[in-house]
Amino acid sequence: MAGGVLSSDWTPAFAAVPRSAFLPELIWPYDMEAGRSVAVSMAQDPDAWARYADADVPVVTQWDDGRHTGTVPGREPTSSASMPSVVFRMLRDLDVRPGHRVLEIGAGTGWNAALLAHRLGTVNVVTVEVDEAVAATARRALETFGLPVRVVHGDGSRGFPDGAPYDRIIATCGLRSVPYAWVEQCRPGGRIVAPWGTHYGNGDAVARLTVSRDGESASGFFASPVEFMKLRSQRPSPVVHSEYVTGGVADGEESSTVLPEGEFTGERFEPVHFALGLRVPDCRCVVADKREGARPVWWYGLTDRSWACAMFRDGQAARVWQSGPRRLWDEAEAAHRWWQQRGRPGCDRFGLTVTPQGQRAWLDDPADSWPV
């Protein structure tokens, strides 16, 4: 509450609906000191399990779409209980009122749906979950806790038209494109809250979109930066380096840059990454490990085989190579210059508009937008 994350109207739900009631016996919380997910069993270490269940850390509850077994973390986390601070920040952004009907995309453990149901009533909340096993577990947890929210097994990108129109729609998964079905299923003046980002990286920002009076579009500013597991139908395909660079970087056109390494390799939530993703569309940026004072940063085009590489070395100007129909380094450099000239804005100065024709991003003013 002191940090402005938990608003007073959500305090009763926070107190009455503990996250621990929706976690399985084996969890993989993220250990902030170790910098990785660790396995914690309720049976083997109940004190540690309870401590992590109450901590402000994300807790993985499924790996590899359920194919994973054992206690060692899997390759990719595919379901989780989010950090409580993130959960309540997004619920605050949702701005629910008595009588509102809410559609949640991504049931996960069921905790978020339970918080909504405690405040609005179970009949006013529907949650959609793409994973059948996860949906069944969430349904049981909600029923056991006494908040039997309707849990629908299905593709959340389609929403749930049987329950429309909704006053609010909230997604607990990261998006690269806001499904227009959600706009259609949310009443005029309603709100859509969802983590959204670009293909440039894994980071997201919380989009807070208001549906227009005619119901034909939704638009609004971004709020805080976050990172969520992606909507399964929008997961990015892995970039295969050898399909782009068939020889060596010397095959590309060479240049140099005085831009510092930190502008491209800093913390994942720094505003520059979000801005570059918006201005360099259909592109993936990959930051390699630093070795002997050198670190390459790669850009890969997602609609062709264009690529670029900037090799940053301590104390030296970076060498740059690029190849293909797109000059991705030129685009990235121009995007960085554009961002600097506008005062290095954070994600909260950017916005998104969703229409039947697609998505458009903007800075400060929706009238000055571009496709993303």
Residues near 232 by beta carbon (within 8 Å), at least 6 away in sequence: 130, 131, 173
d(CA 206, CA 219): 13
- DSSP summary character for residue 342: T
Burial of 303 (0-12, 13-18, 19+ CB in 10 A): exposed
Query: How wide is the angle at C-alpha 212 spanned by C-alphas 210 and 213, nearest 5°?
Result: 130
Is 338 strand, coil or helix? helix
Residue type, 315: G
Other Cβ atoms closer than 10 A to 108: 25
- Structural contact between residues 70 and 135, judged by C-beta atoms closer than 8 angstroms: no
Long-range contacts of 2-6 (CB under 8 A, 24+ apart): 3/85, 5/85, 5/88, 5/89, 5/92, 6/85, 6/88, 6/92
d(CA 125, CA 239): 38
Sign of CA dihedral 218, 221, 223, 227: positive
Task: Mark whether 79 is an active-site residue.
Answer: yes
d(CA 44, CA 25): 10
Instruction: List Cα–Cα distances, 151 to 106, 146, 155, 232, 327, in angstroms.
Output: 10, 14, 12, 18, 47
Annotated active-site residue in 79, 217, 219, 224: 79
Is 185 strand, coil or helix? helix
Give the residue numbers annotated as catalytic, written as ranges: 79
